[in-house]
Structure 1
Amino acid sequence: MTETPRQPDLSTQIAENLPYLRRYARALTGNQQTGDHYALATLEALLEDQDVFNSGLTPKSALFQAFHQIWISSGSPVAEADAVTSPEARAQWRLANLTKNTREALLLHSIEGFRAPDIAQIIGGTADEATALLTIARTEMTNSIRGRIMIIEDEAIIAMDIRAIVEDMGHDVTGIARTRDEAVKLARRDPPEMILADIQLADKSSGIDAVNLILKELGDRPIVFITAFPERLLTGERPEPAFLITKPYSEEQVQSAVSQAMFFASTETLQG
């Protein structure tokens, strides 16, 4: 007699999806510490009430829905324009002027791969409403900010593809670097307003090291990392990126991550 495969227990299901919740929370808040705070609050709430996992949703959707219940009920207040001083506060003020739930819908779809019906279950509303939010989000985020972007990527085809995507969005590309040393020299010669970086580079050097050196010399600026192994950077054991794209990526993922990151003028230094 064939036994029915046992389903993973609830703690295992949560653990499997937690890195992706943390990635989403960071992109939504633009900050590792703040994003992780919301993820932790979600876990604490689930210790008290796990009914969301009995609602017929997939484990990942259930976890994200639990997060949004926390996000909606305890979101950080946004300062008035004349009271905004720090770069992050200015970013949050700009974000507050976007249509409600558009960023959430865009990140859920483009970064985490949820479809419109799933997004509706997570944030509320109908699938048609979620689709409308995605359309609005793409327009508002893409048109919000233009900037000068440097690309750190050792694979020529990927570098050219990324360049085409960001230039189509209206950004200027300062150049493409294949190694850590090339990246530092390029940044010194033509300082970018944002960096889009691979993790593993041509000469076995680290994109994280390159970014750290550039930020140390030039100061904070938005960073988007690209990696085939996002779980390695989402352990919670060291400083980690707020904006992370998984290889293989889609055009929409790059567009979304770049647009989101452009709203935030500070990026935490990472440890390679």
Structure 2
Amino acid sequence: MSLSAQVANNLPFLRRYARALSGSQATGDAFVHATLEAVLADKALQESLSGGRVPLYNAFNKVWSSAYLDVPPGDAAGAGEHEAAVRERLGTITPLNRQALLLTTLEDFSVAETAQILERDENEVEDLIRDAIAEIDRESTTSVLIIEDEPLISMQLEELVSSLGHTICGTAATRSQARQVVAERMPGLVLADIQLADGSSGLDAVDDILQIGDVPVIFITAYPERLLTGDRPEPTYLVTKPFQEVTVRTAISQALFFGSSRPLP
């Protein structure tokens, strides 16, 4: 397989990770672009990509670390309001905790692979994951709207959300039902499927909500790569079906951490 084909296969998922880590489509995609530029400029790195996803994510980690660890959180001159908030929020905790958790849950890397990506000891990675989970347990709660047309999945999400201490402000199987719920109570978080029961779109249902107020949104879909082309405004948080509960839990934490689903300018 050619280098371009290898990178293309992994690119949608690297975009997913970058967006979840940064809390922004625009910021995440910018880091992915910088990573690709680094790959093109480094022959040894190009050769290492034959080893699969790990070298590509390791290259991304180096770009991410150099940009975020060397820039003081307050140095956001020229950034938009939300971009400045993202930088400030990242500075309030150690981003490495969340990297380790996202890599092992959202991206399904093993602890050993995560250690290679982050260039850390495996024991340290395990400690980072525990620290990140402890932070989740200390987080404040919110109200959640679940937009899902499959009853069993909707019930599973309800139980998961409730177990984290959040409240369910409503469930919806269609775009119109979602409108009705929001008309009565604005949620603090939305979990949304893409394809709904009556043929309506979860994307459209969420767009209706975002016209009213800014709320973090997590999309749940069987085909995340179809929404991660980088060609248009796209979701920041994506979870793949069938999902593991720990993956949804991590995505909820990350979405609430930044508190906004809208892409940056």
Q: Which runs of 5+ in 1 are unaligned?
A: 1-7
Contact 1:142 1:255 in 2 (8 A): no
Indicate the SS of the match to 1:201: coil
Cα distance between partner residues in 1 of 2:246 and 2:192: 17
Range with bigger deviation, 95-104 or 172-181: 95-104
Question: Out of 132, 157, 164, which is 1:169 matched to?
Answer: 164
Show the 5 A alignment for 1:238-249: 238-249=232-243
Range with bigger deviation, 42-51 or 241-250: 42-51
Show the 5 A alignment for 1:1-272: 8-55=1-48, 58-75=51-68, 77-79=72-74, 86=81, 89-216=84-211, 218-268=212-262
TM-score, with normalisation over the residues of structure 2?
0.91
Measured after TM superposition, the shift of residue 90 of structure 1 is 4.0
Measured after TM superposition, the shift of residue 74 of structure 1 is 1.5
Deviations 1:114-146 (A, max 9, x none): 011101100111111111111111111342232
Indicate the SS of the match to 1:268: coil
Contact 1:165 1:251 in 2 (8 A): yes
Indicate the SS of the match to 1:209: helix
Letter matched to residue 151 of structure 2 = A
- CA separation of 1:47 and 1:87: change in aligned 2, threshold 3 A: closer
Cα distance between partner residues in 2 of 1:198 and 1:261: 16
Cα distance between partner residues in 2 of 1:145 and 1:115: 29
Cα distance between partner residues in 2 of 1:64 and 1:116: 14
Measured after TM superposition, the shift of residue 220 of structure 1 is 1.1
Q: Superposition RMSD on alpha carbons, in Å?
A: 2.0
Indicate the SS of the match to 1:101: helix
Cα distance between partner residues in 2 of 1:256 and 1:50: 35
- CA separation of 1:152 and 1:50: change in aligned 2, threshold 3 A: farther
Cα distance between partner residues in 1 of 2:59 and 2:33: 11
Contact 2:73 2:90 in 1 (8 A): no
Letter matched to residue 212 of structure 1 = D
TM-score, with normalisation over the residues of structure 1?
0.89
Letter matched to residue 244 of structure 2 = S
- CA separation of 1:106 and 1:144: change in aligned 2, threshold 3 A: same
Cα distance between partner residues in 1 of 2:235 and 2:258: 13
Measured after TM superposition, the shift of residue 167 of structure 1 is 1.1
Aligned to 1:3: none
Cα distance between partner residues in 2 of 1:138 and 1:32: 24
Contact 2:220 2:238 in 1 (8 A): yes
Deviations 1:40-93 (A, max 9, x none): 00000101104235458732111100001111111254229xxxx945544543
The alignment-based identity, stated in percent, is: 45
